[in-house]
């Protein structure tokens, strides 16, 4: 066991270039952020253990609740202005509005959850967050 203290700087580490925007887009499409070919998910919101093409380990991701929060923000910014516009211009009955808006909100949220989670995992990988930094001496 070495007595020398671990000295680690980001500049000293050998690093591959990771493009945040490319990784975000690949994750949004449900693909591996590194190779863009392997599948990121093994179920609706279950991130696979590793990429089937490039063997990238996906287990260090920590998406947690962020995808749900982002979906709420995105869907809210679509649904609320639409409701206000329809209400001020057409003023349909409340039951009719509920029959349209509630399923629309639910379906839009479910459609966006997996892509947004994939994008979050892609950004985490590109920014070397959590366990995605291969040069972190603490792992």
- Chain contacts with Zn ion (rule: CB under 5 A): 32, 34-35, 38, 51, 53-54, 56
Least separation, in Å, of the C-beta of 74 and Zn ion?
Answer: 26
Which one, of 42, 64, 39, lies nearest residue 51 by Cα? Answer: 39
Least separation, in Å, of the C-beta of 31 and Zn ion?
Answer: 8
Closer to Zn ion by CB, 24 or 71: give it.
24
Least separation, in Å, of the C-beta of 20 and Zn ion?
Answer: 17
Closer to Zn ion by CB, 53 or 113: give it.
53
Closer to Zn ion by CB, 56 or 75: give it.
56
d(CA 51, CA 113): 20
State the SS3 of 28-82. HCCECCCCCCCECECCCCCECCECCCCCCECCCCCCCCHHHHHHHHHHHHHHHHH
């Amino acid at each position: 066991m070495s007595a020398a203290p671990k000295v680690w700087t980001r500049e000293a580490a050998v690093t591959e270039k990771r493009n945040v925007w490319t990784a975000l887009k690949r994750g949004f499409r449900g693909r591996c952020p590194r190779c863009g070919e392997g599948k990121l998910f093994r179920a609706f919101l279950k991130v696979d253990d590793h990429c089937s093409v490039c063997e990238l380990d996906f287990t260090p991701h920590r998406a947690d609740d962020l995808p749900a929060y982002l979906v709420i923000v995105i869907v809210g910014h679509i649904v609320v202005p639409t409701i206000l516009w329809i209400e001020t211009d057409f003023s349909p009955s409340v039951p009719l509005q509920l029959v349209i808006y509630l399923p629309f909100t639910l379906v839009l949220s479910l459609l966006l959850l997996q892509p947004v989670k994939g994008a979050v995992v892609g950004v985490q990988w590109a920014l070397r967050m959590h366990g995605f930094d291969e040069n972190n001496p603490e792992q």
